Structures are given as structure tokens and as C-alpha cells.
Amino acid sequence: MIRLENVHKQFGARKVLDGLSLNVHEGETFVIIGPSGTGKSVTLKHIVGLMRPDAGEVYVDNEPVHSATPPQLEAIRRKMGFLFQNGALLNSLTAGENVALPLRQHTDWPEEKIQAAVEEKLSLVDMEGRGDVMPSDLSGGMRKRVSLARAIILAPRIVLYDEPTSGLDPVMSNIINKLINSMKAKLGITSIVVTHDMSSAYLIADRIGMIYKGKLVEAGPPKELLKTTNPVVRQFIDGKTEGPLTAEEVPATGGGRGWRRK
Ligand SMILES: Nc1ncnc2c1ncn2[C@@H]1O[C@H](COP(=O)(O)OP(=O)(O)OP(=O)(O)O)[C@@H](O)[C@H]1O
Ligand SMILES: [Mg+2]
């Protein structure tokens, strides 16, 4: 469904992606972890075609993103929702108008239908009736939730989330985790989720992959990843939890079952 092959990308002298390969299957939630500055956001930007690789290939639904023309890119992007790390709302528009934007750009729906869709998505992220508020009057977590409503408004088959739970309190993080899981279960959505939040990763992931020094160093179901002998991955996941987790502490397949530290 989403495939990166041997992708290289550098900015000036700084090599960020150094032969990154990744394959995400249809209907799967793939979680990407890795240290700050390692190229996780850059990877997502290659998938939506906001960045082009210096070398290598990127496919979404078997369509080449790396070589797409602007109209082809437009068609590919139509299938994808993207939640940016910083929220990226337009400050001149209300929260509701931000959510409505993709509908205004890509559909000719009547106003009434647009408003109903906006309200429905706002209530999904617990922002019911808050459509009139300006982004500058929202907290960071609220802006993130409005961005999420906007990312899913066109009912995309693929959703890319860059740090969906960062800056959210545990209750709200849980709402977002459940939303990601229910979109997978009900709609068969394929997702890539970049996160630093390991408890969220264990709750939502079918597979977790770690990017380190520009490559995918390891990927597998949460339970498999916890058995890793790769010292880099080991150190990262142990450091993110209070001491090493045992395989028994995470669900067998991830994706929606409860995970709780004993
Ligand atoms: N447009 C750009 N121009 C120049 N350098 C960039 C650009 N975008 C990203 N970088 C650099 O690429 C590296 C990887 O950035 P990226 O945002 O992908 O990191 P990340 O893994 O998402 O980190 P974090 O966990 O902090 O979000 C960083 O060194 C960053 O400064
Ligand atoms: Mg990032």
C-alpha cells in the first residue's frame, strides 16, 4: 500500500535518509519510532510528496509519488489525510473553516452538507460546537484535535499522523488512540503513526518500526520488537518505558487491545 525503496535525502551536507526502505500493508497501522531529528517527519513528507527523494522510490497504492506530476500528485494526495506535527492550522480561519477546507477544495457539496460533516468530525475529536473559535484561542491539544478532524474529513483510505498524542493529556491521548483503532476496524484505514509515546504505540500498532541514522533498523509486531537484541532499539524502547517490558506485557497483535503496565 505504501512502499519506500532505498530512499536517500540530504539537506546541504546533512544526510537524513540514507537508504530507507519501508513497506506498509493495506489496513495496517504502522508506528514509526526513533530519536528526535532522525528523519521521521521527513519520511512522512516523502509519502505525501511534499519532499522528493534525492534517490530511491516512493509508491502509494502502486503509484509513484517520487516522479508524480502535479495533477498526479493531487490525485494521490486525495487518498491521504495528513496530520502535521505542529497542527498547521490557518490562523485567519475559524477551527470549523479549517476542517471544511479540504471539502471546499475537493468537493462541490452544498453548504449544509459541509457544515454537517464538519460538526460530525469535530465531535469525533471531542470538539463539538467549537467550530467558531479561532485557532489562536485554542490550546495546543485542541489545535491538534482540529487538525486531526481536518485530516480525516475527506474519508481518506490512508492517514499519516505525525505525533498525534504529543501535548495531549492522557484522557485525550486515549481518545485519539481509540479513534485511530476504530478507523482501522470500521473503515479499514491504513495508517502510519509517528510517535514518541510508547504506550500509545503498543495500543495501536500492528507493527512498529524504528528509524535510526536514516534507515529502518527494525520492524515487527510490538511483541516481536520487545524481544529485539538490537542494542539501539533495545535502548530506545527501554528508555521510553520504566525499565524493560516483557513480551507478556503487550498484546499479541497490537491494534486495539489493552496494554497496561503491571
Ligand atoms: N526542509 C528542510 N530543510 C533543511 N533541513 C531539514 C528540512 N526538514 C528537515 N530537515 C532536517 O532533517 C532532519 C530530520 O528532521 P525530521 O523533522 O524528519 O526529524 P524527526 O525525526 O521528525 O524529529 P522529531 O522527533 O524531533 O520530530 C533534521 O536535522 C532537520 O533539521
Ligand atoms: Mg518530527
Per residue in 18-72, pLDDT (tens digit) is 999 999 999 999 999 999 999 999 999 999 999 999 999 999 999 999 999 999 9
Name every residue whose Cβ is closer than 8 Å to that of residue 52 and which is 6 or more positions away in sequence.
46, 66
CA distances from 122 to 31, 87, 111, 157 (A): 25, 15, 16, 19
Tell me the β-bridge partners of 159.
81, 191
Mutate to test the pocket of ligand 1, among 4, 10, 11, 86 (most ligand atoms within 8 A of CB): 11
Instruction: Tell how far the Cα of 39 is from the centroid of ligand 1, in angstroms.
Output: 5
Asked if residue 46 has its Cβ within 6 Å of ligand 1, the reply is no
DSSP conformation class of 245 = P
Give pLDDT < 50 ranges for the chain.
251-262
Alpha-carbon distance 34 to 19, whole Å?
16
d(CA 54, CA 45): 13
| 3-state SS class at 27 | coil
Q: Is the CB of 36 under 6 A from ligand 1?
A: yes
Indicate if ligand 1 lies below 6 Å from the C-beta of 29: no
pLDDT of 247: 57
C-alpha–C-alpha distance, residues 238 and 236, integer Å: 6
**From CA 181, how far away is CA 254, in angstroms rounded?**
10
Q: Whose CA is nearest to atom 1 of ligand 1?
A: 11
| Closest approach atom of ligand 1 to CA 34 | 21
- Cα of 161 to ligand 2 centre, how many Å? 10
Q: Rounded to whole angstroms, what are the CA distances from 130 to 89, 99, 146, 175, 242? A: 15, 11, 9, 17, 37
Three-state DSSP class for residue 166: coil
Specify the ligand 1 atom closest to the Cα of 12: 4
Q: Report the C-alpha gap between 97 and 11 in whole angstroms.
A: 35
**How much is the pTM?**
0.87
Ligand 1 contacts CB of residue 11 (under 6 A): yes
Q: What is the DSSP letter of 210?
A: E
Q: For ligand 1, is residue 195 a contact (CB within 6 Å)?
A: no
Closest ligand to residue 45's CA: 1
pLDDT for the residue numbered 162:
94
Contact 73, 49 (CB under 8 A): yes
The angle at the Cα of 192, spanning 189 to 148, to the nearest 5 degrees, equals 75
Q: Which of 31, 42, 192, when mutated, tests ligand 1's pocket best, judged by the most ligand atoms within 8 Å of its CB?
A: 42
**What is the Cα–Cα distance from 8 to 254, expressed in whole angstroms?**
30
Helices (H), the chain: 40-47, 70-77, 95-106, 111-124, 140-151, 170-187, 198-204, 222-225, 231-240
38 CB under 6 A from ligand 1? yes
Given a contact cutoff of 8 angstroms between Cβ atoms, the answer to whether 83 and 161 are in contact is yes
CA distances from 226 to 40, 161, 261 (A): 21, 23, 14
Residue that is written with C-alpha cell 457539496 in the block: 109
Q: Residue 242: its pLDDT value, please?
A: 55
Q: Which ligand number lies closest to the CA of residue 211?
A: 1
How many A from CA of 211 to the centre of ligand 2?
Answer: 12
* Interval between CA 212 and ligand 1 midpoint (Å): 13
Q: Is 165 in the pocket of ligand 1 (CB under 6 A)?
A: no
- Give SS3 for 147: helix
